[in-house]
Amino acid sequence: MKRLLVIACFIYPIIVVVESTPVRILILTEETDEAAEWFRDSLPLAEADFRGLSLSEVTVSVSRDDQEEAVEQVCQALSKGVHLIVDMTWTGWGKSRVMSEEAGVPYISIDVHLTPFIKAADDTLHYIRNATDSVLIFENKKQMEQSLYYLIKHSVLRILVLDGLNKTSAASLLSMRPSPNFYVIIANTQNINNIYKVARELKISDKDDRWHLVFTDFRYGNFNRSLLSVSVAMITLKDAVCCYLLGLDYPCDCPEDTEV
């Protein structure tokens, strides 16, 4: 990244003269995913914090259906010179790791998606509940698709995933034999309220200790507890996480609109 010119004298200490050159970063992201946008926005801030540092980036969108095009784009970027590969795909793209090792370029995988929440739910079901199956309900199709890559690679449970809950999907759940043992909603507080309300109205949530509500925001204090007629498990973020994200010392006042 930098060329060093070292001037050594017999009496005086060594002097190191640093000539800065642009640091070129290759960002890998899923197709139609905005995850890399915040990373690109942070580059000017990094340049301001480290005087003399110059950063440039190139982004490659990885299509799971046609990875050859992405491989070609990565090869082109490497041929022009890359100092760092930042992998922000949903579960890490193995081919990019291999290419980085062959090219001798540092590789970092950054997870900014639902993986920690999915892992928390999966571990709870597997290790605490001794579950063999579960229904996972997400707030939208995109988050459901993100979850599939993690579940296929890591989960030992039989999983049915849904993007939301409506009369049609609820009827399918009620007609399943054998019936699912557990249900999990992974969503923000507002969507958990909406989804669980539908589950109650359609008489799916009528047994104790079957439902697990995984909150992906810090607004879980606004969960409508009047919806509860049976016991449920609630998985929430620690307040210390909010302080950490805001760069504040714990304890701190966590604004409800803090985005994870």
- The residue to which tokens 């923000």 are assigned: 188
In the chain, the domains with their CATH numbers are: 23-109 (3.40.50.2300), 114-245 (3.40.50.2300)
Query: Residues 95-153: pLDDT tens digits?
Result: 889 999 999 999 998 877 788 899 999 999 999 999 999 999 999 998 898 888 889 88
Q: Residue 151 contacts by C-beta under 8 Å, 6 or more apart in sequence? A: 118, 122, 136, 159, 161
Query: Residues 182-225: pLDDT tens digits?
Result: 999 999 999 999 999 999 999 898 889 999 999 999 999 999 99
pTM of the model: 0.78
Helix (H) / strand (E) element for 143: namely: helix 141-154
What value does the mean pLDDT take over residues 62-71? 84
Q: Give me the percent of the chain exceeding a pLDDT of 70.
A: 92
Among 2-6, 54-58, 105-109, the range with the most confident prediction by mean pLDDT is 105-109
pLDDT at residue 89 in the model: 86
Length of the chain as a residue count: 260
Between CA 222 and CA 47 the distance in angstroms is 39
